[in-house]
Amino acid sequence: MRTTIPDEILDRVAEKFRMLGDPTRLVILRALMAGEKNVGMVVTETGQGQANVSKHLKLLAEAGMVRRRKEGLQVFYSLGDPLVEDLCELVCGTIVREAQADVERNRKILKTWGGRS
Amino acid sequence: MRTTIPDEILDRVAEKFRMLGDPTRLVILRALMAGEKNVGMVVTETGQGQANVSKHLKLLAEAGMVRRRKEGLQVFYSLGDPLVEDLCELVCGTIVREAQADVERNRKILKTWGGRS
DNA sequence: TTGAAAAATTCCTGACTGGCTATATAGTTC
DNA sequence: GAACTATATAGCCAGTCAGGAATTTTTCAA
């Protein structure tokens, strides 16, 4: 039996997912998956504006999905726990499976109805 | 080595997460975790308005996270694949760990600085 | 102290979205 | 067909949020 989501943490669960529900944030997190980076590096790597990156990193840090370390002028961010990677891997796997199912379905359709153009 | 998120599916990954990033949708999905239900049952179980539930279910179905089956007047929805449950379980586990860490931290603070009131 | 660099913050705007009410559609029963 | 039920849809409003430009804060170096 699987445990259900307790009411008390529903909002926090939603918050975590909401943080991952934005493509720009995913790109930022993907950049951090390769290792700790400062804001400037994330900016150049993602092509996003500095203000935007800073804002997103703040949100991610507040949600506890990213760690913050200050060193002189620069601030370094890194993934806090493997949760993010695990979640992304699961979802990516599902999407790949969906794509494969699509391909298979189309292959059958073509086999039955398709001819040479 | 972990595979990174391919650019081509970034938006779809974000969409899946975005679907889970709303407390109401989580409640709806939680209801479906117990098994297939028609819209009316989900409405009474979640306490949400009928129009809202219908809209959310439509979104979830479009995102491929919920299956739709029509039977006479009623429409039954069910979880399509175990992805949702897996994701929720992971996040819940993390939040519980965070809470435990908080408790532990506070315990130490009290042990050092706290006295009897 | 002045200047420069990195990051954060503020303000603004446009787009999106959750929830509501009312209405429409589809299917059943009489 | 008329009445009824279950679900879907349309329209509206308020709140939220991503992105950009400009400014501020923080820190280091000269």
pLDDT in tens, A12-53: 999 999 999 999 999 999 999 999 999 999 999 999 999 999
Report the share of chain A in percent with pLDDT over 70: 97
**Letter for the amino acid at A20?**
L
Average pLDDT, integer, range B58-82: 96
pLDDT for the residue B116:
58
What's the pLDDT at A102? 85
Which residues of chain A does B20 touch, with a Cβ-Cβ cutoff of 8 Å?
A: 13-14, 17, 21
Torsion of CA A101, A19, B23, B78, to 10 degrees: 10
Q: Which CATH class is domain A1-80?
A: mainly alpha
The order of strands in the sheet holding A37-38 is: A37-38, A74-79, A66-71
> Quick one: average pLDDT of B77-91?
95
Is the confidence at residue A113, as pLDDT, over 80?
no
pLDDT over threshold 80, residue A1:
no
Indicate the range of A17-26, A108-117, B65-74, B103-112 predicted with least confidence. Answer: A108-117
Asked if B53 CB < 7 A from strand C, the reply is: no
Residue A103 has pLDDT above 90, yes or no: no
Contact, B19 vs B87, CB < 8 A? Answer: no
Provide the shortest C-alpha distance from residue A73 to chain B (in Å): 30
For chain A, which residues make up each domain, given as ranges? 1-80, 82-117
- Interface size A-B, in CB pairs within 8 Å, comes to 111
Helix axes A83-113, B10-20, angle to 10 degrees: 120
pLDDT band at B94 (very low <50, low <70, confident <90, very high): very high
Contact B22, A18 (CB under 8 A): yes
- Tell me what pLDDT residue A116 has: 57
Closest CA to B32 of B23, B41, B19, B22: B41
Find the radius of gyration of the CA atoms of chain B.
20
Give mean pLDDT, residues B57-78.
Answer: 97
Burial (CB count <10 Å: 0-12, 13-18, 19+), residue A11: exposed
Q: What is the mean pLDDT of residues B32-47?
A: 98
Residue B19, both tokens: 């679907």
CB neighbourhood size of B79 (10 A)? 18
For A9, counting Cβ atoms within 10 Å of its Cβ (0-12 exposed, 13-18 middle, 19+ buried), the class is middle
- The two structure tokens encoding residue B91: 């996040």
CA dist B3 and B8 (Å) reads 14
* Contacts with A, B 62-81, CB within 8 Å: 64, 81
Residues across chain B:
117
Residue A117 has pLDDT above 70, yes or no: no
What's chain B's average pLDDT?
93
Q: What is the pLDDT of residues A45-86, one digit of tens each?
A: 999 999 999 999 999 999 999 999 999 999 999 998 899 999
Chain centroid, CA A28 distance in Å: 8
Compute the distance between CA of residue A98 and CA of residue B64 in angstroms, rounded to an integer: 9
Structural tokens at position A60: 């991610």
Taking the C-alpha atoms of residue B56 and residue B19, their distance in angstroms, rounded to an integer, is 9
pLDDT for B81: 86
- Comparing CB atoms, the residue among B11, B22, B90 nearest residue A83 is B90
When comparing pLDDT for B12 and B109, which is higher? Answer: B12
End-to-end CA distance of chain A: give it in Å, rounded: 53
